[in-house]
Amino acid sequence: GNSVTQMEGPVTLSEEAFLTINCTYTATGYPSLFWYVQYPGEGLQLLLKATKADDKGSNKGFEATYRKETTSFHLEKGSVQVSDSAVYFCALQGGSEKLVFGKGTKLTVNP
């Protein structure tokens, strides 16, 4: 079945550092891929998405490119801020509406 594997956290960075959170997936067909973010005490917010190979999703300085050849959708940001501290979830949506999530990666950005 479909599955998502994302890098174990927690990740701790200094402000303005470069961020990469790795995400790989296993799926049949051509799933849509998502990154959701969960700020402390809140629910999930859609950060970005890509629906086909080579698509790049971007939002708030974050980017991720749908790489079918490596079955990856790594999240990147060139310069993180303290306000980016949150838990980040990679997810895929295959042949149905069912979202399959990774376990989440907690990011802490220190000033």
Is 57 among the residues that bind another protein (CB under 8 A)?
A: no
Which 72-111 positions form the footprint of another protein (CB under 8 A)?
A: 89, 93-104
> Hey, CA dihedral for 100, 91, 24, 70, is it positive or negative?
positive
> Hey, CA dihedral for 66, 50, 4, 109, is it positive or negative?
positive
Which 2-21 positions form the footprint of another protein (CB under 8 A)?
A: 4
Instruction: Return d(Cα 61, Cα 1) in angstroms, integer.
Output: 32
Token pair listed for 3? 């599955």
Q: Which of 8, 15, 16, 42 is the binder for another protein (CB under 8 A)?
A: 42
List of residues contacting another protein (CB under 8 A): 4, 31-32, 34, 36, 42-46, 49, 51, 89, 93-104
